[in-house]
């Protein structure tokens, strides 16, 4: 399973990229807004900077709600950087836009996916990746991870090539479970990426090796 960073924070992206484990970045209007980005020009500037740091797909979300607006935004975003994935929501207008843009060769990250049926529709419309939001399903008392398992099963059964991108990841167990469920990609907030590194036995083991070495070195 590949890992993407789920943030629009440039410092987090720089720090995450240094680990050498990040294959892409996902952004959305909420993440952009958290960084003080509130218009298309500043979003573009940030996305270009992200693209200079990470050599992989950078997901950029459309703001329009109607198909024509999404198509126009998608065409524009497609020219911002070398490897954009245009994020389009799983709505009627979204599917219209996905089917037009995908036929033009534009890569699509179909976002806000909450059902297998939406994932089936997206695959037919030409989505490059579908993003089931597991944390938001957990928030309403469902098992978000089950949606990943179900989409992976259906896509395998029908040899569908659309990637399953586990999104709305809230804790490290979500990453493990998404990998076990067969997700191709998980997009993780920077804090969770660093928590994936942590284990108390690694911390204590490193300290003990150093202390034992210094006993002789300082004897």
Query: By beta-carbon distance, which residue lies closest to ligand E4P?
Result: 168
User: Toward ligand E4P, which CB reaches closer, 90 or 131?
Assistant: 131
Smallest distance from ligand E4P to CB 131, Å: 5
Q: C-beta of 129: minimal distance to ligand E4P in Å?
A: 9
Of the pair 67, 137, the CB lying nearest ligand E4P is at 137
Least CB distance to ligand E4P at residue 208 (A): 37
| Closer by beta carbon to ligand E4P, 59 or else 107 | 59
Nearest CB to ligand E4P, comparing residues 149 and 174: 174
- CA-closest candidate to residue 31, choices 1, 59, 64: 59
**Least CB distance to ligand E4P at residue 111 (A):** 6
176 close to 166: Cβ distance less than 8 angstroms: no
Least CB distance to ligand E4P at residue 14 (A): 19
Which residues of this chain interact with ligand E4P, rule CB under 6 A?
6, 26, 28, 30, 59, 111, 131, 133, 135-136, 167-168, 187
Give the N- to C-terminal CA distance of the chain in Å, as an integer. Answer: 47
Give the DSSP letter string of the chain.
Answer: -EEEEE---HHHHHHHHHTT-EEEEE--HHHHHHTT--SHHHHHHHHHHHHHH--S-EEEE---SSHHHHHHHHHHHTTTSSSEEEEEESSHHHHHHHHHHHHTT--EEEEEE-SHHHHHHHHHHT-SEEEEBHHHHHHTTS-HHHHHHHHHHHHHHTT--PEEEEBS--SHHHHHHHHHHT-SEEEE-HHHHHHHH--HHHHHHHHHHHHHHHHHHT-
Instruction: Just list the catalytic residues.
Output: 87
Nearer to ligand E4P, 138 or 200 (CB): 138
């Amino acid at each position: 399973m590949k890992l993407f960073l789920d943030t629009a924070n440039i410092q987090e992206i720089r720090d995450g990229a240094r680990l050498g484990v990040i294959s892409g970045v996902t952004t959305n209007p909420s993440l952009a807004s958290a960084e003080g980005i509130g218009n298309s020009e500043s979003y573009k500037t940030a996305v270009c900077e992200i693209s200079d740091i990470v050599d992989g797909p950078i997901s950029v979300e459309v703001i329009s709600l109607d198909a024509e607006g999404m198509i126009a935004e998608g065409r524009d975003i497609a020219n911002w950087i070398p490897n954009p994935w245009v994020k389009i929501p799983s709505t009627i207008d979204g599917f219209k836009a996905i089917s037009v843009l995908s036929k033009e060769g534009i890569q699509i990250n179909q976002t806000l996916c909450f059902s297998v049926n939406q994932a089936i529709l997206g695959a037919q419309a030409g989505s490059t990746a579908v993003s089931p939001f597991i944390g938001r399903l957990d928030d309403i008392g469902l098992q978000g991870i089950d949606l990943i398992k179900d989409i992976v099963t259906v896509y395998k059964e029908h040899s569908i090539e659309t990637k399953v991108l586990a999104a709305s990841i809230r804790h490290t167990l979500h990453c493990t479970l998404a990998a076990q469920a067969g997700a191709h990609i998980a997009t993780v907030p920077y804090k969770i990426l660093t928590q994936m590194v942590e284990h108390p036995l690694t911390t204590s083991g490193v300290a003990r090796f150093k202390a034992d070495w210094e006993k002789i070195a300082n004897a």
